[in-house]
C-alpha cells in the first residue's frame, strides 16, 4: 500500500508561511537566529551540566536530556523550514514526510514524559529529602528516560503506519511548516475514523497522562512547602520549582490546545501558530529559563567563562 501511494503521490508541498511572500527573507533571518540560539543555548547547557561536578544530580541529568531533545527535534523541522523560505520548490518527499512526522512526534512525546520525570524528581527532593539519593538512583533516572522513549516509538510507529497507508489522491499542499498529523490527514481521500480514534487515544497517553502526573506531583509539593514553618524556606523551595513550572506551562499550554481542540477552518491557522510555539519557541526559551532562574547553573557558567578567559 505504501508503494502504491508513493507512486501515485511522490511528494507533498509544505506551504509554511507562504501567505507572506514579502516577508520570506525577513522570516528566514529571524528563524535562522532562533535556530542558532537553540543550538548554542541548549548546547551550552549540556556542556556545563556535563563538565561541572557541582551539577552532577538527577535534576541536571534530566535537564541535559531535555536540552538534547530540544536540539534534535528542532533540527528535524527548522532546516527544511529555512530552505522553504528562500526556495521556490517547497516539496518534501512522501517518505521524507513520514520520517519527519515520526521523528518529530517521538521526540516531542518523550519530552512530555521527561517533564513529568522532572516534576517527580522535585517531588522526591522536597517531600522525601532523606531518601532522595536512594529513590532517584542512576538506574531509575535512566529508566525514566528510556521507558518513555520506547513507548513513544511504539505508539507513533502505529500512528504513522495507519496514516501513510491511506490513499492520497487530492491536493498535495500541506498548510503547515512541517508534516504535522492533522494537516496531512486532511489530504487523505478515505475514511479516517480509525486514525482519529488512534490519535485521540495516543493524545491521552502522551499528553494527558504525563500532565496529570505533573499536576499530582505539584499538589504534593505545594502542600509540603506550605507546611514549612520558615517563610524563607518556602520561598527557596518554590524557587527550585519555578523554572520547571514555567516550561510545563509554555509547552503543555500550546501543545494541548493545538492537538486536542476540534479541527475547523477557524482553528487551523491558530493551531499552526501554536505548533510553531511549542516546536520552536519553547526550545529557545528552555536554556534562558533554566539558566537565568537557576543560581547553580549561573555560577557554573561564570566559572566556565572565567577559566576560558
First to last CA, the chain: 60
CA-CA distance, 124 to 136, in Å (whole number)? Answer: 8
- pLDDT tens-digit readout, 29-67: 999 999 999 999 999 889 888 887 778 889 999 999 999
Q: Label residue 4 by pLDDT band (50, 70, 90).
A: very low
Give me the sign of the Cα torsion angle 29, 35, 40, 45.
Answer: positive
Residue 14: which of 83, 70, 75, 73 has the closest Cα? 83
Residue 283: which of 17, 26, 45, 15 has the closest Cα? 45
- pLDDT tens-digit readout, 79-100: 999 999 998 888 999 999 999 9
The Cβ of residue 202 has, within 10 Å, a number of other Cβ atoms equal to: 19
Torsion (CA) 149, 115, 117, 159 in degrees, nearest 10: -30
Contact present, 205 and 126 (Cβ < 8 Å): no
pTM of the model: 0.90
Give me the sign of the Cα torsion angle 137, 45, 249, 265.
Answer: negative
User: What are the chain's domains?
Assistant: 2-308 (1.20.1070.10)
Q: Label residue 7 by pLDDT band (50, 70, 90).
A: very low
With cell 496514516, the residue in question is: 163
User: What pLDDT does 3 receive?
Assistant: 45
Amino acid at each position: 500500500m505504501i508503494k502504491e501511494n508513493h507512486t501515485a503521490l511522490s511528494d507533498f508541498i509544505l506551504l509554511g508561511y507562504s501567505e507572506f511572500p514579502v516577508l520570506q527573507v525577513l522570516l528566514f533571518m529571524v528563524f535562522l537566529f532562533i535556530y542558532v540560539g537553540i543550538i548554542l543555548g541548549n548546547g551550552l547547557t549540556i556542556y556545563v551540566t556535563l563538565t561541572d561536578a557541582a551539577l552532577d544530580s538527577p535534576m541536571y541529568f534530566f535537564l541535559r536530556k531535555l536540552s538534547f531533545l530540544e536540539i534534535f527535534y528542532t533540527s528535524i523541522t527548522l532546516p527544511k523550514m529555512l530552505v522553504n523560505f528562500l526556495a521556490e520548490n517547497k516539496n518534501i518527499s512522501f517518505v521524507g514526510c513520514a520520517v519527519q512526522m515520526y521523528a518529530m512526534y517521538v521526540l516531542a512525546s518523550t519530552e512530555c514524559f521527561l517533564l513529568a520525570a522532572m516534576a517527580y524528581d522535585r517531588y522526591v527532593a522536597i517531600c522525601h529529602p532523606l531518601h532522595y539519593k536512594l529513590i532517584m538512583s542512576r538506574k531509575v533516572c535512566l529508566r525514566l528516560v528510556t521507558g518513555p522513549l520506547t513507548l513513544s516509538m511504539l505508539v507513533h510507529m502505529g500512528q504513522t503506519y495507519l496514516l501513510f497507508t491511506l490513499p492520497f489522491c487530492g491536493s498535495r499542499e500541506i498548510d503547515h511548516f512541517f508534516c504535522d498529523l492533522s494537516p496531512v490527514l486532511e489530504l487523505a481521500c478515505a475514511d479516517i475514523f480509525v486514525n482519529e480514534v488512534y490519535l485521540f487515544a495516543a493524545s491521552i497517553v502522551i499528553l494527558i497522562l504525563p500532565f496529570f502526573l505533573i499536576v499530582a506531583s505539584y499538589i504534593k509539593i505545594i502542600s509540603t512547602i506550605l507546611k514549612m514553618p520558615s517563610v524563607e524556606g518556602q520561598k527557596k523551595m518554590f524557587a527550585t520549582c519555578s523554572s520547571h513550572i514555567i516550561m510545563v506551562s509554555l509547552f503543555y499550554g500550546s501543545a494541548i490546545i493545538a492537538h486536542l481542540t476540534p479541527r475547523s477552518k477557524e482553528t487551523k491557522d491558530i493551531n499552526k501558530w501554536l505548533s510553531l510555539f511549542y516546536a520552536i519557541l519553547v526550545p529557545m526559551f528552555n536554556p534562558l529559563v533554566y539558566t537565568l532562574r537557576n543560581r547553580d547553573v549561573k555560577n557554573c557558567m561564570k566559572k566556565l567563562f572565567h577559566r576560558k578567559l
